[in-house]
């Protein structure tokens, strides 16, 4: 068994965190979305800031990201089938929180992230 230490004062601030919108857990629209897909959406949102800073925008000024299945597999320690399933929950086959554009020729797909807040 691991012997973890306690937190003291403001030690928690030494960590980096992924932000996952609470709405994904409280809004009825997302009730069928798996917890893993919600976490993946949080990871995807984390990449938006980097993409914007690096100028990854299309001709309509929509920010996009790259997040390959191999990267998802590494993050979740899962097989390709599972990473495909998680992406399917988020894209048009599922709830529609992301839109994937295939680039082909061995290039990674472009992923547009949808904003569900009104």
What residue spans define the domains of the chain?
A: 23-113
Residue 46's pLDDT is 92
Which residue in the block uniquely carries the two structure tokens 């990871």? Answer: 43
Residue 70's pLDDT is 96
Residue 118's pLDDT is 62
Residue 4's pLDDT is 86
C-alpha span between 92 and 112 (Å, rounded): 12
pTM of the model: 0.87
| Helical residues (DSSP H) of 1-118, grouped into ranges | 23-26, 35-53, 69-76, 80-90
In CATH, 23-113 is 3.30.70: no
Residues of the chain with pLDDT under 50: none
3-state class (DSSP) for residue 36: helix
């Amino acid at each position: 068994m691991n012997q973890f230490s306690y937190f003291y004062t403001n030690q928690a601030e030494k960590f980096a965190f992924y932000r996952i919108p609470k709405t994904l857990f409280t809004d009825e629209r997302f009730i069928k979305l798996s917890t893993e897909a919600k976490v993946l959406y949080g990871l995807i949102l984390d990449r938006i800031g980097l993409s914007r800073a690096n100028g990854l925008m299309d001709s309509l000024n929509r920010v996009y990201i790259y997040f390959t299945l191999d990267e998802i597999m590494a993050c979740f320690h899962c097989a390709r089938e599972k990473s495909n399933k998680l992406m399917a929950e988020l894209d048009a086959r599922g709830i529609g929180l992301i839109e994937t554009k295939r680039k082909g020729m061995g290039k990674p797909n472009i992923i547009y992230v949808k904003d569900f807040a009104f």
